[in-house]
């Protein structure tokens, strides 16, 4: 039931506190003991109280500044989608005096990430949305933010041993497990499996990929699947070198009919297959980049696993605003669905309304 049936006096009676205490909680005026604050919040949760956010936003003079720390991105790329979700949340929160700035870093460059984290930790902000990368540097930054009592949310990848307000993204290992499950439906005796990895696969920045690989191998182990497995290392940028690598691999392994790419670049393999006039029985990749979707539709890629990056960015900012602006509790984990797309359903898929 919503707040239309409850007055401040009703809430005060239910919480066992004064009406003045409830008013101070609702309007964030401070001077409320922790025990009274918990009593009021518990009642608000029970009655699903929804404050008049527009009135609150107009009444408040305070401005809230959030920072968004994400990798540099290209149009139609994965991080571009995250930024689009962030911008949508920012537009919705504008009446409540919320503004947002960006800090960018190069994805695989630890020095770049460290520099951006340093600017975040020293900045004048009320909250931060972080797309974490190097775990040790992230933990150092998290500690500095915690010392300043600045809440932060993680998107895309969760760094353990921190105290993030919440994590929003997929369970990386489970998504890798699911990739193996759908791919092995195509397996027949004698088929060989290619794990298409990138040349920076051991870089600490590639934790997301590494966890997906762990989940993938866990499925094979649990189900005692024993295809011949080959690691095929591709360059993240050099298309010509990749063509030579793939020419050599498929020439030497004509029975390699199954493949998986653990990052957003399944198009590298699918483009090669298209150019060479080849098909694999099953090729799984991640993320609905335009080039990936094109190869899904043309048949070189069999499945794409989506993780709703725009929704991650949107919910990350909304979680910060719930906590900082509206003083509402936030769930510590919000797992994104593991969306499995094929060419038959991709045209009907949308991430956010």
C-alpha–C-alpha distance, residues 146 and 159, integer Å = 15
Return the domain boundaries, the chain.
Answer: 3-51, 64-168+309-335, 172-306
Tokens describing residue 103: 């800090």
Which pLDDT tens digit goes with each residue over 33-90?
888 888 888 888 777 776 655 455 544 568 999 999 999 998 888 999 999 999 999 9
Question: How much is the pLDDT for 309?
Answer: 96
C-alpha–C-alpha distance, residues 43 and 16, integer Å = 10
Question: pLDDT band at residue 194, thresholds of 50, 70 and 90?
Answer: very high
Please report the sign of the dihedral spanned by the C-alpha atoms of residue 215, residue 217, residue 218, residue 222. positive
Question: pLDDT band at residue 136, thresholds of 50, 70 and 90?
Answer: very high
| Architecture of the domain spanning 64-168+309-335 | 3-Layer(aba) Sandwich (3.40)
Say yes or no: do domains 3-51 and 64-168+309-335 share a fold: no
Residue with tokens 């009274």: 36
Taking a C-beta distance cutoff of 8 angstroms, is the pair 65, 126 a contact?
Answer: yes
Topology of the domain comprising 172-306: Rossmann fold (3.40.50)
Three-state SS letters, the chain? CCHHHCCHHHHHHHHCCCHHHHHHHHCCCCCCCHHHHHHHHHHHHHCCCCCCHHHHHHHCCCCEEEEEEEECCCCCCHHHHHHHHHHHHHHHHHHHCEEEEEEEECCCCHHHHHHHHHHHHHCCCCEEEECCCCHHHHHHHHHHHHHCCCCEEEECCCCCCCCCCEEEECCHHHHHHHHHHHHHHHCCCCCEEEEEEECCCCCHHHHHHHHHHHHHHHHHHHCCCCCEEEEEEECCCCHHHHHHHHHHHHHHCCCEEEEEECCCCHHHHHHHHHHHCCCCCEEEEECCCHHHHHHHHHCCCCEEEECCHHHHHHHHHHHHHHHHCCCCCCCCEEECCCEEECCCCHHHCCCCC
Question: pLDDT band at residue 22, thresholds of 50, 70 and 90?
Answer: confident
- Higher-pLDDT residue of 170, 12: 170
Question: pLDDT band at residue 317, thresholds of 50, 70 and 90?
Answer: very high
Taking a C-beta distance cutoff of 8 angstroms, is the pair 68, 86 a contact?
Answer: yes
C-alpha–C-alpha distance, residues 238 and 215, integer Å = 28
Angle, nearest 10°, between helix axes 135-147 and 110-122? 10
- In sequence order, the β-bridge partners of residue 194 are 230, 259
C-alpha–C-alpha distance, residues 108 and 134, integer Å = 9
Strand 64-71 to 228-234 pairing: unpaired
Torsion of CA 165, 168, 174, 176, to 10 degrees: -130
Phi/psi of residue 25, nearest 5 degrees: -65, -45
Torsion of CA 86, 90, 92, 94, to 10 degrees: 180
Residues in the chain: 353
Cβ neighbours of residue 39 under 8 Å, at least 6 residues apart?
15, 16, 17
Question: How much is the pLDDT for 127?
Answer: 98
The region, left, alpha or beta by phi > 0 then psi within -120 to 50, assigned to residue 128 is: beta
Tokens describing residue 299: 């048949």
Q: What is the mean pLDDT of residues 199-207?
A: 76
Stated pTM of the model: 0.82
Whether residue 342 is predicted with pLDDT greater than 50 in this model: the reply is: yes
Superfamily of domain 3-51: lambda repressor-like DNA-binding domains (1.10.260.40)
Question: How much is the pLDDT for 3?
Answer: 45
Cβ neighbours of residue 338 under 8 Å, at least 6 residues apart?
170, 171, 174, 175, 178, 305, 307
Distances (CA, A) of 4 to 95, 145, 247, 328: 22, 38, 67, 18
C-alpha–C-alpha distance, residues 296 and 284, integer Å = 10
Taking a C-beta distance cutoff of 8 angstroms, is the pair 24, 30 a contact?
Answer: yes
Question: How much is the pLDDT for 2?
Answer: 47
């Amino acid at each position: 039931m919503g707040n239309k049936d409850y007055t401040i006096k009703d809430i005060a009676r239910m919480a066992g506190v004064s009406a003045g205490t409830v008013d101070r909680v609702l309007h964030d005026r401070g001077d409320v003991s922790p025990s009274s604050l918990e009593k009021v919040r518990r009642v608000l949760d029970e009655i699903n109280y929804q404050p008049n956010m527009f009135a609150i936003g107009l009444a408040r003079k305070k401005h809230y500044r959030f920072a968004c720390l994400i990798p540099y991105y290209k149009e139609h790329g994965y991080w571009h989608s995250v930024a689009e979700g962030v911008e949508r949340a920012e537009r919705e929160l504008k009446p409540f005096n919320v503004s947002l700035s960006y800090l960018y870093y190069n994805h695989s460059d630890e020095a770049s990430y460290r520099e951006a984290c340093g600017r975040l930790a020293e900045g004048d902000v009320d909250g931060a949305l972080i797309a974490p990368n190097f775990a040790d540097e992230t933990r150092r930054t998290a500690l500095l933010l915690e010392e300043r009592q600045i809440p932060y949310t993680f998107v895309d990848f969760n760094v353990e041993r921190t105290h993030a307000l919440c994590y929003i993204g997929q369970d990386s290992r489970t998504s890798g497990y699911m990739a193996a499950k759908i791919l092995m439906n195509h397996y027949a005796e004698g088929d060989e499996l290619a794990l298409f990895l990138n040349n920076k696969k051991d870089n600490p920045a590639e934790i997301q990929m590494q966890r997906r690989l762990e989940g993938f191998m866990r499925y094979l182990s649990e189900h005692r699947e024993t295809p011949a497995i080959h690691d095929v290392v591709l360059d993240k940028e050099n298309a010509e070198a990749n063509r030579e690598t793939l020419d050599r691999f498929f020439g030497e392994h004509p029975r390699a009919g199954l493949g998986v790419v653990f990052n957003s670049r399944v198009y590298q393999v699918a483009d090669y297959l298209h150019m060479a006039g080849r098909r694999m029985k099953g090729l799984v990749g991640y993320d609905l980049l335009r080039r990936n979707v094109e190869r899904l539709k043309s048949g070189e890629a069999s499945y794409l696993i989506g993780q709703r990056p725009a929704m991650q960015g949107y919910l990350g900012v909304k979680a910060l605003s719930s906590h900082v602006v509206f003083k509402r509790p936030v769930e510590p984990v919000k797992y994104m669905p593991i969306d499995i797309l094929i060419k038959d359903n991709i045209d009907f898929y949308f991430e956010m309304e």
